Amino acid sequence: MQCVSLTIEQWMALREGGAPVPPIWFTVVGGSMRPLIRKGRDKVMLVSVEPEDVKVGDIVLFPGHYRGGDYCLHRVWKLDGDRVQTFGDGNTRPDGWFPRTHILGKAQLIRRGRQTIDCDDPRWRRRAARWCALWRIRPLLLLPHRATDKIGRIASLRASATNEL
């Protein structure tokens, strides 16, 4: 499958204009999908998807104003008619409901170094389903990741403060 170099905004403009929409790759910048998708390290191939074709467990891109950002990449948690509820793998609570028509695309592949993960591979979907089933104890399971992130932020702040002196 051929990918092109487009921003998400350009990709969306093509999509809205009715033109054939090629898949695009982008680097994940947020930590809300950790530990299964890692910020700054993993790249995601995004493909266009019809809202009615979205299934529970799919990883979708939607407008981030629901979560306070530009765009958000989370896993579909629940479907209810024309509404969808998502849940970031690195979050402790699901997001609010929003219309299915607001889904901009679906993650098809994840590239982690030399490894490429097919998001529709049954093994990957089982792994993700197991992680989702642990949602009640996620706060405990995510403690090491959150502590590491906090230590990294503190070290970064100290380094920038030292550089300013």
Q: What is the pLDDT of residues 122-156, one digit of tens each?
A: 999 999 999 999 989 888 888 877 677 777 777 77
Domain count, the chain: 2
- Confidence band of 118 (pLDDT split at 50, 70, 90): very high
Q: Are residues 117 and 56 in the same domain?
A: yes
Asked if residue 82 has pLDDT above 90, the reply is: yes
Does 36 map to a domain?
yes
**All residues at 6 or more sequence positions from 49 whose CB lies less than 8 Å from its CB, including other chains:** 58, 60, 103, 105, 106
- Spatial contact of 46 and 56, defined as CB atoms under 8 Å apart: no
Looking at residue 66, its pLDDT comes to 53
Q: What residue numbers bound the domain in which 161 lies?
A: 137-165
